[in-house]
Amino acid sequence: MDLLFTLLATLVALGLLVTIHEYGHFWVARRCGVRVLRFSIGFGAPLYRWYDRHGTEFMIASIPLGGYVKMLDEREAEVPVEQLDQAFNRKSVKQRIAIVAAGPLANFLLALLAFWVVAVVGLTTVKPVTGVPEAGSIAERAGLREGLEIVAVDGATVSSWHDINLRLIRRLGESGTLGISARELAGGEPQNYSLVLDGWLRGVDQPDPLGALGLTSWQPQVLPRIGQVNPDGAAQRAGLQVDDLIVRVDGVPVNDWVTGLVPLIQTSPGQPLALEVERGGRLIELTLVPDGRESDQGLQGFAGVGVAAFEWPDHMLRRISYNPLLAIPVAAGRTWDMTVLTLESLQKMLTGLVSAKNLSGPITIAKVAGASARSGLESFLSFIAYLSISLGVLNLLPIPVLDGGHLLFYAAEWVRGKPLSERIQAWGLQIGLALILCIMLFAIYNDLSRLGG
């Protein structure tokens, strides 16, 4: 059932993104007087098709990995004389640029709409209040301590841990000073803290920005009660079950999941731990041998369990919502920030500041789609917005085969006053196709490596 839900969430997300992208091309092409022959969602054999009054074929195909808009074009087939004025290749270079650019632009507009809906509907989030920083960490050396609410990072206002993470990601691989403003939870004027970075997380696979700074979030006492047991994990092999309450580990009382149980498991990879567990009103004894896995901190123990749901105090929660008018600049700001972040991340991957192993493929996208859909409408819409921005940015890269490559050819034609030779364009398309194929294979390899880890 989980797999089916994940597949459904992925199809909904990708189907929406592809439809909006191709509709951008379609809508502008129609208004430029181009005859559209086919509008297809997916590739391969048609599952369902219909025609509109203009004779355009609309199709849902069997392979849901993209889509396309097929236009009348003399380069692809002979065009009747009476329809030459409707051929794409007969339009001015400015019109062709507009048609090609409309697809990525539609993706940015979709992201803007999704962020606007999230801003209007609103969401409840946990206030970004610090826990005890790790001893000797960057955060501790800067003077940060428990009980401070972070209000700004590098001068940008933040209202949640999610906002903070996005700001920190922009500093990956950099050296210099990271500015954090924080105030007492009870109120008062914010104080500024300077965190010194030196090649921070440069080239690290799957970086953990908060953990690398030594920042922790304040949490209420969380009983060490099991809420989820992963199949084939160490906890399942030990006989742990959902709703079990872990009372002691190696004879030592444990009364908190975060500060008590997790450190014991992480520091015991491959070592047997004697558990005393309360189940159904009686105590039983089990032996847990945590699996070991590599992390930024070295080999750590991993049990394959999740904590049972717990409630946050009301004073630690924040409701964020805007009226429809104020939500417009908020959505525009988020769209702009995510676009800049995507471009900066690509630039850092090319220069080695960020590991290329962070590049994700369809498997990771599917996992995130399923997880965000389970988390609720706001989370799923935010995921769609992020993915739509990524699709828009990637499509604008000046790589032949992508929209950005076509725009590069048309820009050259505009400057030269005539198109590039067919030979040069053919070479560019072959190089672009090879490059895109290599990137796709590398992204899938990264996905499989994460599954293996």
Containing H/E element for 344? helix 327-351
**Which amino acid is it at 334?**
R
- Please return the burial class of 163, using the count of CB atoms within 10 Å of its CB with bins 0-12, 13-18 and 19+: buried
Distance, in Å, from the CA atom of 87 to the CA atom of 72, rounded to the nearest integer, reads 5
Residues in the chain: 453
Distance, in Å, from the CA atom of 2 to the CA atom of 383, rounded to the nearest integer, reads 18
HSE value, Cβ hemisphere, 13 Å, CA-based, for 131:
16
Active site annotation includes 22: yes
CA distances from 138 to 48, 145, 194, 197 (A): 58, 12, 9, 8
The DSSP 8-state label assigned to residue 319 in this structure reads E
Residues 6+ apart with CB under 8 A from 398: 404, 405, 407, 408
Residues 213, 218, 219: CA angle, nearest 5 degrees:
130
Distance, in Å, from the CA atom of 9 to the CA atom of 14, rounded to the nearest integer, reads 9
Distance, in Å, from the CA atom of 453 to the CA atom of 441, rounded to the nearest integer, reads 18
**The pair of three-digit structure tokens given for residue 378, joined into one six-digit string:** 């706001």
Containing H/E element for 410? helix 403-416
Strands in 282-288's sheet, in edge-to-edge order, are: 252-253, 245-249, 273-279, 282-288
Distance, in Å, from the CA atom of 292 to the CA atom of 284, rounded to the nearest integer, reads 25
Residue 382 has φ and ψ, to the nearest 5°, of: -65, -40
Nearest Cα to Cα of residue 380 among 4, 11, 2, 3: 11
DSSP lists the bridge partners of residue 278 as: 245, 283
Residues 6+ apart with CB under 8 A from 105: 24, 392
> Which one from 22, 149, 276, 378 is the annotated catalytic residue?
22
Q: Check: CB of residue 64 under 8 Å from CB of residue 15.
A: yes
Distance, in Å, from the CA atom of 433 to the CA atom of 425, rounded to the nearest integer, reads 12
Which residues are marked as active site?
22
